[in-house]
Chain A
Amino acid sequence: MTLAKRIIPCLDVDRGRVVKGINFVGIRDAGDPVEIARRYNEQNADEITFLDITASHEGRGTTLEMVSHIAGEVFIPLTVGGGIRTCDDIRALLNAGADKISINTTAVTNPDFVYEASQRFGSQCIVVAIDAKQVSAPGEPLKWEIFTHGGRNTTGLDAVEWARRMVDYGAGEILLTSMDRDGTRQGFNLEMTRAISDAVTVPVIASGGVGSLDDLVAGVKEGGADAVLAASIFHFGEHTVEDAKRHMAAQGIEVRL
């Protein structure tokens, strides 16, 4: 078994600029997505994920330009998510050079869209992003449900069943974010990651809550994740992607060094 576990830095972009403080040593303008993507590529990132938080429709053109620039320079898989509603949105991003498209809210409001998109573009480029929170009380059997709108809106959908359904509809990969861990730096929700990774045949990317390199190790070893995604531990120069890989390799995890 030599398939490497993947490490994926994630960037928030607004109108083609990276937002949410990035602080690499040696980069003066921290918001330049091409520069940042280049830096992560040099650090041996296995993929890069961009979450487009641009509110206005007009602003989306600049995101396409950004993807196009990066795709001309950084030759590793690029995933783009955020606000994907139509097959035209997907086509435009693929044409700009994105390799995978992450569908989040629209998968919940219109699950058939996942089917349509995977039929049209192939499952290999359709990632379904699942934002879930634990809803079971202490002592009860563990249960997680899907939330939308940044964790504010509940849907009542069971996360494990939902993940299975999305794979049936053609999702080629699941990006699983624990909304109660996101931003806490307390580590992934390992029970949820394990439950979903065991429930589906496709790869699962663990996300939400990474505060240390040991959290990445736990995501793979305890959570059973095929890939781990993190933002802040890389952005602030605390750790490089290379550091993370060496740490994981030292714990016996297969990585691409």
Chain B
Amino acid sequence: MTIAVIDYGMGNLHSVAKALEHVGEERVTITRDPRAIKGATRVVLPGQGAIRDCMSELERAELKGLVNTLLADGDKPFLGICVGQQMLMTRSEENGGVRCLNYLPGSVKHFATDMTDADGQRLKVPHMGWNRVDQTHMHPLWEGIPAGERFYFVHSYFVAAEQHADVFGTTTYGHHTAHIATGRDAVFAVQFHPEKSAAAGLKLLANFVEWSP
């Protein structure tokens, strides 16, 4: 019973590992060893920084094929976080256009930088801080989390999925409705950082640890 947090050199994996250890009994390992990832009961794909770097580092670590296989098999609970959510889409417009894993049809777009709020104040990009999440479809990972709960976000790009059925949660920022929770079968992915979202985030991670799709 092990949760593998995939380490392909992008981002801070310690926070998510600590949070998973905090909520469950399963051993958490930060690893890039394909055998350890294949042998794990659950897999987490984090991601931070530029998506082109994330994709190329995943390839360089020779893990892209393995991640594609895990996604296609669809039997092992899989959680994508932040850029780890974005990478599941078809493509991103970041870095002049980057082809992604194409697990879910859709794209990753940039927030408009000229948005203002009701008081006329400029909306900053990155979208940083605690925003409300609308749970658009029921999902075992939302279990026990109130509708409209706030989670912690830091991102300038957001997922726009093509298929309604793949979207489990949205967040509004300016005139954008970002698809901040997406998934299919044993895969769930979120733009926010559950490991930094206090009680609500820990509840989501606890649900993931108990999830048997």
Asked if A pairs with B, the answer is yes
| A203 CB within 8 Å of chain B | yes
Which of A1, A173, A204 contacts B117, CB < 8 Å? A1
CA distance A224 to B122 in the complex (A): 9
Q: A2-B131, A46-B130, A122-B48 given as contacts; is B124 within 8 A of A202 (CB)?
A: yes
Most chain B beta-carbon neighbours within 10 Å: one of A5, A201, A256: A256
CB pair A201–B127 under 8 Å, yes or no, is no
Q: Considering only CB atoms and an 8 Å cut-off, how many residues of chain A contact the other chain? A: 37
Chain B residues lying within 8 Å of A16, measured Cβ to Cβ, are none
Which of A2, A6, A97, A201 contacts B125, CB < 8 Å? A201
Interface size, B (range): 35 or more
Q: A76-B196, A125-B12, A201-B113 given as contacts; is B131 within 8 A of A3 (CB)?
A: yes
| B186 CB within 8 Å of chain A | no
CB pair A256–B18 under 8 Å, yes or no, is no
| B129 CB within 8 Å of chain A | yes
CB pair A75–B128 under 8 Å, yes or no, is no
CB pair B198–A41 under 8 Å, yes or no, is yes
Chain B residues lying within 8 Å of A46, measured Cβ to Cβ, are 129-130, 152
CB pair A226–B128 under 8 Å, yes or no, is yes
CB pair A76–B152 under 8 Å, yes or no, is yes
Chain B residues lying within 8 Å of A201, measured Cβ to Cβ, are 113, 122, 124-125
Interface flags for A26-61 (1: CB within 8 Å of B; 0: not) read 000000000000000100101000000000000000
Interface flags for A171-213 (1: CB within 8 Å of B; 0: not) read 0110000000000000000000000011001111000000000
CA distance A72 to B23 in the complex (A): 11
| B197 CB within 8 Å of chain A | yes
CB pair B128–A99 under 8 Å, yes or no, is no
Which of A76, A124, A197, A227 contacts B48, CB < 8 Å? A124
CB pair A97–B14 under 8 Å, yes or no, is yes
In the complex, how many angstroms separate the beta carbon of B107 from the nearest chain A beta carbon?
21
A to B CB contacts below 8 Å, 17 in the list? A1-B118, A4-B129, A4-B130, A4-B150, A46-B129, A71-B18, A72-B22, A76-B196, A125-B12, A172-B128, A173-B128, A201-B122, A202-B125, A202-B126, A203-B126, A224-B122, A226-B124
A→B interface (CB under 8 Å): 1-6, 41, 44, 46, 71-73, 75-77, 94-97, 99, 121-125, 172-173, 197-198, 201-204, 224, 226-227, 256
